[in-house]
Amino acid sequence: MHLPLFTIWSSIHSLGWHGAFELLRGGVVLGALYALVALGYSLVYGILKLLNFAHGDVFMVGAFMGYGVLSVLSGHLGTVPLIIVMFVVAMLGTGGLGVAIERFAYRPLRNAPRIAPLISALGVAFFLESSVQLLTNSAHYQYSNYPVFFSLIEPAFSFHIEGVLEPVSIVSLIVVGSSIALMFALLFLVNRTRLGKAMRATAFDREAAAMMGINTDRVISAAFFIGSALAGAAGVMYGLQYSDISYLVGFAFGLKAFTAAVVGGIGSIEGAMLGGLLVGLVEVFAGGYAGGQWVDVAVFGLLIAFLLVRPTGILGKHAIQKV
């Protein structure tokens, strides 16, 4: 369960515009994180038609890598360089992890029955979760043990709503801003570069792409690297935003991010953004109005509703690009 999120909701007593703004603020930030993780699902699903269950746990590993950098370098570096190093290390680390996962768990199964890589993915998810549990001794770790966390929750600017000052913190600006920047970078990569063209070709027809001289193995590795690096970045941001991380944060987060990918239209980059936002808002508003205990059930309801009414997702059918 997301314990830090509970504190947000429990602080909301008076709803109305004032409370609604707080929910909106929380929902957008959470949605941006879901969107980043959803992109990784979408990218891999688009190319391999593989549901990478381990992706949520890659996100969790990213959060721990960021924490590791923080614990080693805190006090030795200024705030900005420290955060940059956290992002770089976590993104490179999870990117490499993603490539290794693909190489050892999925590549041997390219021509196996469809169910085999899914089971393997389940195995990877459990391997990562148990490994981190072993290494952290099942403990929770707090980003807020370090001063950087507090310098980031300072308000960047504030709104006056119903006479109350509603701050928007620096960290939420970083989260939303860098999520949007990363998504546009990914859009550029997929639509404008050689690698992106190779990805689209591989997604469309892997065998034909291979016959046209595209090294599909390398394209798939690249997709895993990029998707996992995005999840790693999301992991660091999760820590900076909510502080509390443990080996359990990845699984439920991954499921909801996958819901975001499905709701937005799996395989579509813009869809992942929209889906992430929608899932984030549904989660936070359900938590705010119905109570924190309802969030998982609410997001599950959203998934079922979409599968019944519009299984292709918001942008699924009409997305021209098929990443």
Partner 1 sequence: MSETPEHPETPEAPPPAETPDAQTSRIGVDSWVAESEARRSRTPAALLSRGAARTPDPLKLLVFVAFAVSLPFWTSSGDLFIFGTLTLISAALALGLNVVVGFAGLLDLGYVAYAGVGAYTYASLSSPRWHLHWPALATIPIAMAAAGLVGLLLGISSRRLLGDYYAIVTLFFAQAFASFTNVTNPGDITGGPNGLPNVDPITFFGHKLASYNQQYYLILAIVVILAGATYLANMSRTGRAWRAQRDDPLAAQAMSIPVNRVKILAAVMGAAIAGLCGTIFAATYTAAVSTDYSVPFLILIYATVILGGIGSIAGVLLGAAIINCTLQFLAPQNDHPEVKRWLFYGTIILLVAMLKPVWRSLLVLVATIGFGFAVHALAVAYASHKWTSGVPSSGGSWIAHWAIIPNTDSFTGLNHGNFNNIVYIGLVVMVVITASLKGWWRMLALVPTLYLTVLAWENLLAASGGITAYLLFGVMLIALMAKRPQGLFGEARVEIV
Would you tell me which residues interact with partner 1 (CB under 8 A)? Answer: 1, 45, 49, 51, 53, 100, 103-105, 108-109, 111-120, 122-131, 133-135, 137-138, 251-252, 255, 258-259, 262, 292-297, 299-300, 303-304, 307-308, 311
What six digits make up the tokens of 85?
Answer: 């190093």
**What phi-psi label fits residue 245: left (phi over 0), alpha (psi between -120 and 50 degrees) or beta?**
beta
> Is the CB of 159 or the CB of 300 nearer to partner 1?
300
Q: Are 247 and 134 in contact (CB under 8 A)?
A: no
> Is the CB of 141 or the CB of 258 nearer to partner 1?
258
> Is the CB of 83 or the CB of 220 nearer to partner 1?
220
Q: Are 45 and 264 in contact (CB under 8 A)?
A: no
> Is the CB of 238 or the CB of 258 nearer to partner 1?
258
Smallest gap, in angstroms, from Cβ of residue 73 to partner 1?
A: 17
As a 3-state breakdown, the chain gives helix, strand, coil percent values, each rounded to 5, of: 75, 5, 20
Smallest gap, in angstroms, from Cβ of residue 149 to partner 1?
A: 23
Q: Are 244 and 3 in contact (CB under 8 A)?
A: yes
Rounded-to-integer distance, Cα 223 and Cα 63, Å: 20
Smallest gap, in angstroms, from Cβ of residue 152 to partner 1?
A: 28
What six digits make up the tokens of 95?
Answer: 């990117």
> Is the CB of 125 or the CB of 175 nearer to partner 1?
125
Smallest gap, in angstroms, from Cβ of residue 27 to partner 1?
A: 19
Rounded-to-integer distance, Cα 150 and Cα 153, Å: 5
Smallest gap, in angstroms, from Cβ of residue 59 to partner 1?
A: 16
